[in-house]
Amino acid sequence: MSALNLQPEKLYHLYNRGNNRETVFHTPENYRYFLTKLRRHLTPHLRILAWCLMPNHFHLLVQVREAADLARCSTDLRLLLSSYTRAIQKEQGRTGSLFQQHTKAKELSTEQYAFMCFCYIHQNPLRAGLIRDISQWVWSSYPDYAGLRGGTLCHKELATALLDLPTDAEQIALLIKQTMPADVKDWLF
């Protein structure tokens, strides 16, 4: 068992935020650098099904690979966060923790729970009031699922199968928008 308590082939919602809710992504280059490190450190262990980077936190919907080295996965997650932190400390002239001490890993035990997490991750920028239309946020996998970008970080085919998603990009985009909570819809539309 790893420090994250991950198990092979299970789905998880991984997330962490800035220490004291501080900003962790200041520039587009910061977002890109984090994604590069994410690909390098985590994709050998995890299949990423959805992701969203927010100014002060991140969300990942992942499936643990069958033959994942779980202890190494935890180590590589720590390497990702610590090396990103060092880069931001240097860039911003700061010291101390950037992220909260523990990254959360919530098991998604049912298809419905995983589907709602998939939608929630993509709706996050709307819920936070950062944008008025989901397609405006480029720091998530939504543009890939909506057919607006051809990103390769997500395993879209696996997500489609596991979450029973439509195969048509327009249908997925509509589905994500339709599952928006009423209180968010009220102030958006």
Give me the tens of pLDDT residue by residue for the chain, a chain 189 residues long. Answer: 346 889 999 999 999 999 999 999 999 999 999 999 999 999 999 999 999 999 999 999 999 999 999 999 999 999 999 999 999 999 999 999 999 989 999 999 999 999 999 999 999 999 898 998 889 999 999 999 999 999 999 999 999 999 999 989 999 988 988 887 776 555 444
Residue 61 burial class via C-beta count within 10 angstroms: exposed 0-12, middle 13-18, buried 19 and up: buried
Q: How far apart are CA 131 and CA 150, in angstroms?
A: 21
* pTM, to two decimals: 0.92
Copy the structure tokens of residue 50. 């959805």
Q: Homologous superfamily of 11-188 in CATH? A: Transposase IS200-like (3.30.70.1290)
Q: Treating both helix axes as pointing N-terminal to C-terminal, what angle do 156-163 and 111-127 enclose, rounded to 10 degrees?
A: 120
Q: How far apart are CA 166 and CA 164, in angstroms?
A: 7
Domains of the chain by residue range? 11-188
Residues 6+ apart with CB under 8 A from 76: 41, 42, 44, 45
